[in-house]
Structure 1
């Protein structure tokens, strides 16, 4: 039986910044539009965090029963290591999804954006379908596309819309940037797993691109995430604050380009998650500071 610590490890807390970053960006954009609502922001954060925990357990379960995690390099996997029964891990995933749906329903009721029920249902299906079901899209190289869509535009613009009843250019560009960083995190994870994924027939985008190109794509995505923000400078010079992240992007980028051992890429996951969180905080500061008339 898995211990509490192992269940927490299985939830993969290092990935949670990827979930909360688009909510911070979306809320900041809503503030800039004059539509900040704290209760709705908190509900959006709960939805994002619970979906992320759910997808982590779902991936643990699905990859575990397929044997994908038997020879992987990286943190503990509950099913693959044999410390937890597959059924229990699947139930943990479903519980997280269920709680996310409850929080999402409350958010929809408060915002009266009923069409978001379809978006929420799509998010849950996408979370399960990444590695679950007969034809998981994560095994076909489409995981990066879905991560970009749901951890970028969907999460960010959904957050903004439920508070401001609309979106802005800043919200759209912010959603693309945080989506790119989320995909960069996934790419780092999949580059580390190229040898083992290839053995079990898991054709991630990293496998399809090849080791060298996949590593380079990580750096390109981080660069684009900051480059897009420059379009907002004429209207809001405070957005230049995001450039403070450049020094923090150098080490993970160097590890991705030069790290030979697969284990050397493990710290890149946490560093990229923190970069996304830092990006969201600096973006939020850029949205708030003009209102202070500094």
Structure 2
């Protein structure tokens, strides 16, 4: 395996034995399996605004999804490169392979790709600013800074206990409320509740990642939440992260029973309840299964919410027609 320094010069001339090919290297660098964490909340927010306000602008929706994917890509790429530049990859790490550390992608190529994604993100944000106003200047810049600061800069957020909180803010509140605002011009209480629900599941993904790597992280000076908390306390926090979303959807429905089709999300509850036990029992690389199960839970939860919201909207339209006949 090439060292980080040699990989930055000739990553493709002397490939490590585990080199997955050009496409595989870039897939490892950008990690498309995680993109669902950003697309699913946007789709759920679009369904919510349609259910509540019967508003949908496909152009705005397209650029909203595009920005979300680009920010997730940027986060993944910065995380991969940041580890390599800090030489934080040591032998006791149990996570997925990092493309730059393995020498699959050179540091120079990685930096060029990151710059390109930032430019694309800014261009997409400019479109959202046109539709949503100056507030999205702040949202766009803050998202890029957060993606960079997670593993970049002198004091990366990844080295602190605040990683899960950052995910809640940007993959929950910002994603859902921002999408809703772009379509409707305001943010409803239900949008806030949904944003916290989806942010919790997204935070659970990072929680599993940090729980898996807690021994490695402690050895390189990373004080993640999984490192600073007791194992028992962290496991309880994880369980709260994945159960709270169902409570929040229940609150939405109890406030107004016309939204009862939102309860369709409960079809994913059995998947949710299997995760805490797996987190307790599995170790090391086997925990990757739990991490991706959390990603799938977010996608499934959002998919069921979208279906429920569309059913609710259809039922309301049928009710209105009956009263007008």
The answer to whether the superposition gives a TM-score over 0.5 is yes
Q: CA deviation at 1:288?
A: 1.5
Using the TM superposition, give the Cα deviation of residue 139 of structure 1 relative to its aligned residue in structure 2, in angstroms.
Answer: 0.6
* Counterpart pick for 1:59 among 79, 90, 107: 79
Whose radius of gyration is greater, 1 or 2? 2
User: 1:81 aligned to 2:102?
Assistant: yes
* Distance of 2:230 and 2:117 partners within structure 1: 34
Q: Does 1:21 align with 2:40?
A: yes
- DSSP 3-state at the match of 1:202: coil
Match in the other structure for 2:126: 105
1:156 to 151, 176, 184: 176
Moved more, 219-228 or 182-191: 219-228
Once the 2 structures are TM-superposed, how far is the Cα of residue 144 of structure 1 from its aligned partner?
A: 1.2
Query: C-alpha offsets along residues 117-156 of structure 1, whole Å, 9 cap, x if unaligned?
Result: 1111011000000010011122121111111100011111
* 2:274 matches 1:254: no
Equivalent position of 1:11 in the other structure? 30
Residue 308 (structure 2) aligned to one of 269, 283, 286 = 286
d(CA) in 2 for partners of 1:112, 1:168: 16
| Alignment partner of 1:172 is 2:188 | no
Please give the alpha-carbon distance, in whole angstroms, between the structure 2 residues aligned to 1:48 and 1:30: 18
1:263 aligns with 2:282: no
Where does residue 18 of structure 2 map in the other structure?
none
Aligned counterparts of 1:228 and 1:291: Cα–Cα separation in 2: 20
Kindly state the Cα deviation for residue 44 of structure 1 after the two structures are TM-superposed.
0.5
CA 1:94–1:215 in 2, change beyond 3 Å: closer, same or farther? farther
Which digits, 9 at most, give the CA deviation of each residue in 1:136-188, with x for residues without a partner?
A: 12212111111110001111110110111112222111100000001000000
Moved over 6 A (4+): none
Instruction: Check the 8 A contact 1:25/1:175 in 2, yes or no.
Output: no
The residue matched to 1:203 in structure 2 has which SS? coil
| Distance in 2 separating the partners of 1:99 and 1:38 | 19
Once the 2 structures are TM-superposed, how far is the Cα of residue 268 of structure 1 from its aligned partner? Answer: 1.3
Partner of 2:7: none
Q: Secondary structure at the match of 2:154?
A: coil
CA distance in structure 2 between the aligned counterparts of 1:133 and 1:231, rounded to whole angstroms: 40
Q: 1:210 to 1:83 in 2, by over 3 A?
A: farther
Count matched residues: 292
Find the aligned partners of 2:195 and 2:306 in 1 and give their Cα distance: 12
Cα RMSD (Å) of the superposition?
1.5
- Is the 2:157–2:163 contact (alpha carbons within 8 Å) kept by the matching residues of 1? yes
1:240 match: 263
Equivalent residue, structure 1, for 2:153 = 133
Is the CA contact (8 Å cut-off) linking 2:128 and 2:136 kept in structure 1?
no
Give, in whole Å, the separation in 1 of the partners of 2:95 and 2:161: 20
1:214 CA drift (Å): 2.0
Residue 221 of structure 2 is aligned to residue 198 of structure 1: no
Structure 1: gaps spanning 5 or more residues = none
TM-score normalised per structure 2: 0.86
What is the distance in 2 between the residues matched to 1:94 and 1:144?
25
Distance 1:27 1:254 in 2: 33
Instruction: Give the deviation of 1:257 after TM superposition.
Output: 2.1
